[in-house]
Structure 1
Amino acid sequence: MDFTLSPRIEEYRARIAAFVESEILPVEADRSTWDEHENIGPEALARLRAKAKAAGLWCLQLKPETGGQGLGKVGMAACYTEMNRSIFGPVVFNSAAPDDGNMMVLEALGTPEQKARWLAPIVSGEVRSAFAMTEPHPGGGSDPSMIKTRAERQPDGSWRISGRKWYITGAEDAAHFILIARTSDDPRYGLTAFLFHRDQPGWEIVRRIPIMGPEEHGGHCELAFDGLTIKPEDVLGGEGKGLKVTQVRLGPARLTHCMRWLGLAGRCVEIAQEYAATREGFGVRLAERESVQLMLGGLAMDIEIGRLLVMRAAWELDQGRFARKEVSMAKVHVANTLHRAADIGIQINGARGYSKDTVLEWIYRYARQARLVDGADEVHRMVLNRHLESEGRGFFAWPTGEA
């Protein structure tokens, strides 16, 4: 495994870093550009997205024929971390969840007709999208086998949907939806993925669920389905292949979260270092205090461990493997590192960190969800234990090349 960046990827990384510094951070610093949910407002976002497109920094994660640059997962890891030096970065480059994961799964599994209708408008930035899988109890959360929302085949071949979903990220602003519903009780082939548009009748947004942290565009919503009709051509990946769709989408999506979270963790360190370098107490700068040095040094080590775990998982995905245990390890470690980075950043900044004078408190509230979204810490640790039980000492085997 060689994580040396190619000159092409390094060029994109450097250009993104420069764009974030010169274009996005000044907008982030101007609170008048924020919306009521503490995200970037639509006018400022539209201006920055136009600049990102003009600079050739748009949808880097997709294949060239889809409208991207085909950087691969290792390239994405380097670039996504730079994007999220700003809290507003990823959405400017059209690399934010949930559109990011939805575009990649549509690119991988969509038919040419589905790509033209459902994918292309997301790629262009014309619409936003949502992935509707999670359900209220007793429905499915981290365990898709528990999904209760049902799709019943009609005499004309269409499907009629009934059920509920909740915590659907971006639903209020989304036009294109991917919905996971049960089409049979088969434990392996009982789920199917469907595509639908917000203007189709037979469903509604029950509420936008208030959350602890700042919100993505479109919030986190509860949806009710009572007669939504979906045509056969809007089945994604084939009937009974919904579990495959979730696997193709969620593995890389979990890792892209980690890529972005590393950027936020680094921003916390940056803010803490800047303050510690100038703030004095009892005649000593904070940066000279051993306690502060221990906090920042330990945090730097944790971020570097996270980078290596993310790069290892990205490399595995680029080799065509699912990288389930590698993604799980990265997800647990980076989520906790982000939370710790925000906490330490606030501690070093004191009252300033707790105030809204910096983005530390924004990141802190946002970071708490990292240990829950796309599988709680405990779920991923159980996944790792299953690998350990089945592989034994092979769990720790080194990848080997051909002789």
Structure 2
Amino acid sequence: MDFRISPELESLRLEVARFVEDEIIPLESDPQAYDGHGNIAEPLLETLRAKAKESGLWCPQLKAETGGLGLSKTGMAVLYETMNRSIFGPVVFNSAAPDDGNMMVLEALGTPDQKERWLKPIVEGKVRSAFAMTEPAPGGGSDPSMMLTRAVRDGNEWVVNGRKWYITGAEAAEHFMLLAKTSDDERRGHTCFLFHRDDPGWRIIRRIPIMGPEEHGGHCELEFTGLRIPHENILGEEGRGIKVVQTRLGPARLTHCMRWLGLAKRCVEIAKEYAEHREGFGVTLIDRESVQLMIGDLAMQIEIGRLLVMKAAWEIDQGRYAQKEISMAKVHVANLLHLAADRAIQINGARGYSNDTPLEWIYRYARQARLVDGADEVHKMLLNRHLSNLGTDFWKWDVEGEAADHA
């Protein structure tokens, strides 16, 4: 793999870096910049989004004809890491979850009519979206075969009954994707539907309080009691809902990692800056071996994470699913982010535990990283499954000119 990036991508990275430094990071220290749930306030976000559009930095993950910049997955890795130097960064560029993944799957699988109706308003920043899959026990979580939400066909409509929870962004969303069981077929028993916030037959039971901070729209519990969805609102094909899930969640897990690397680097940045100036017992903190070990180890772990993310992104750019590569990146980077925040707080002492830096924000946010889009243990089980199936080929090198599988 050639790790060099193009001059054009470097120029774009520098533009994003300047925008984050000049326009976004200064807001982190302003209490008025936050909404009631610890995210950037909507009026301020609207202003920054307009500036990002004017600067040509909008939706880099989408094709030019969709309204984006047409970056590859490896290009996205470069930009997303740079965006998330600020805790507010990704949402300003319309590259934050859950809209990020929802836009990419609609672009990949939507019909022309669906793209016009459901995708275009999200791309333009006029509406937000949500992906409703996870259910409370005994329903489906990491195992979709346990799903209890059902959709039954009635003429040219489907009638949905069931419950979902921890649906990110639901309170602020207008456009929804919903995964429901449509048959008992083990392989083709799920279907993905599109519906609008104003459609009758469903409600938000509650916005679930979390350790926080929260994305816009929170994490909500939903109830479906006879929601009627036209057959034309099926995304993909009837019975191919798991394909939609795979198309969405694989890249979405990886884009999480891209962004988390940016936050981990910011933690090191804050820790190093403080350690270089804070004195105690006659020396600065950075001169203490224990602090050097902590920061040096984080620098190494971040670079390992970047390599894992880039390898997975490259695999996707080659047209492969990159399942094991994404799982490895997800486990490593999620744990890295939590470690980076924890060590940076430790080095900063009481300052790190306060609101004087974004470290405590990142620390609270980081704990969910090991749970969202598959817990650590689920990904390690999947890696073991790949190892059992592939044996020593788990670590094989691709040979130029030879066909590669799409695992």
Q: For this structure pair, what is the TM-score category when the shorter chain's length is used for normalisation?
A: over 0.9
Please name the residue that 1:217 is paired with. 216
Give yes or no for contact 2:37–2:212 (8 Å, CA) kept in 1.
Answer: no
3-state SS of 1:172 partner: helix
Q: Residues of 2 paired with 1:20 and 1:138: CA distance?
A: 43
Please name the residue that 2:67 is paired with. 67
One-letter code aligned to 1:240: G
3-state SS of 2:171 partner: coil
Runs of 4+, deviation exceeding 2 Å: none
Shift of 1:73: 0.3
Q: Is 1:341 matched with 2:344? A: no
Shift of 1:213: 1.7
Please give the residue correspondences for 1:229-268 in structure 2 after superposition, counting only pairs within 5 Å.
Answer: 229-268=228-267
Unmatched segments (≥5 aa) in structure 1? none
One-letter code aligned to 1:360: L
Shift of 1:3: 2.1
Unmatched segments (≥5 aa) in structure 2? 403-407
Give yes or no for contact 2:29–2:356 (8 Å, CA) kept in 1.
Answer: no
Please give the residue correspondences for 1:384-399 in structure 2 after superposition, counting only pairs within 5 Å.
Answer: 384-399=383-398
Shift of 1:65: 0.6
Please name the residue that 2:287 is paired with. 288
Please name the residue that 1:101 is paired with. 101
Q: Residues of 1 paired with 2:127 and 2:21: CA distance?
A: 27
One-letter code aligned to 2:242: L
Please name the residue that 1:164 is paired with. 163
Residues 307-353 of structure 1: CA distance to partner in whole angstroms, max 9, x if unpaired? Answer: 00000000000001000000000000000000000000000000110
Q: Residues of 2 paired with 1:398 and 1:114: CA distance?
A: 40
Please name the residue that 2:206 is paired with. 207
Q: Is 1:148 matched with 2:148? A: yes
Residues 149-191 of structure 1: CA distance to partner in whole angstroms, max 9, x if unpaired? Answer: 000000x220000000000000000000000000000011000
Give yes or no for contact 2:181–2:189 (8 Å, CA) kept in 1.
Answer: yes
3-state SS of 1:164 partner: strand
Shift of 1:2: 1.2
Q: Residues of 2 paired with 1:205 and 1:370: CA distance?
A: 24
Please name the residue that 2:127 is paired with. 127
Shift of 1:145: 1.6
3-state SS of 1:68 partner: coil
Shift of 1:29: 2.1
- Length-normalised TM-score, structure 1: 0.99
Please name the residue that 1:227 is paired with. 226
Please name the residue that 2:401 is paired with. 402
Please give the residue correspondences for 1:41-80 in structure 2 after superposition, counting only pairs within 5 Å.
Answer: 41-80=41-80
3-state SS of 2:270 partner: helix
Q: Residues of 2 paired with 1:41 and 1:280: CA distance?
A: 37
Please name the residue that 2:322 is paired with. 323
Shift of 1:8: 1.6
- Length-normalised TM-score, structure 2: 0.98
Q: Residues of 1 paired with 2:238 and 2:3: CA distance?
A: 39
Please name the residue that 1:194 is paired with. 193
Please name the residue that 1:374 is paired with. 373
Note the aligned Cα RMSD (angstroms): 0.7
Shift of 1:10: 1.2
Number of residue pairs matched by the alignment: 402
